[in-house]
């Protein structure tokens, strides 16, 4: 599955609640995207692109976590 397809699937799922269920929170897509980006960066074995991707994941996660958690926890550091 490509990243574009994955993000589109998350957008569709996050924006379309199941019938009879409460709507999904607006920050859910950002948290899921950050997790996927962090996982992808871990597979890039310490390359500059991997570090850049991980940095983007951290910024996205931190922005979403501030909306959600009373005490947001950071993503673990990128293993080199």
* pLDDT surpassing 70 at residue 77: yes
Cβ atoms within 10 Å of 59's Cβ, excluding its own:
12
| List of long-range contacts for 37-41, beta carbons under 8 Å, 24+ apart | 38/75, 40/3, 41/78
* pLDDT surpassing 80 at residue 8: no
How much is the pLDDT for 18? 66
- On whether the CB atoms of residues 59 and 74 are closer than 8 A, the answer is no
Q: What is d(CA 62, CA 74) in angstroms, rounded to the nearest whole number? A: 7
Convert the pLDDT of each residue in 17-60 to its tens digit: 667 767 777 788 888 888 888 888 888 877 888 889 889 999 98
């Amino acid at each position: 599955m490509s990243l574009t397809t994955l993000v589109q699937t998350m957008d569709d799922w996050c924006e379309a609640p199941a019938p009879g269920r409460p709507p999904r929170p607006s920050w859910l897509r950002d948290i899921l995207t950050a997790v996927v980006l962090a996982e992808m960066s871990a597979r890039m074995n310490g390359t500059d692109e991997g570090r850049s991707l991980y940095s983007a994941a951290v910024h996205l996660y931190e922005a979403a976590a501030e909306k959600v958690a009373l005490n947001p926890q950071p993503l673990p550091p990128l293993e080199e």
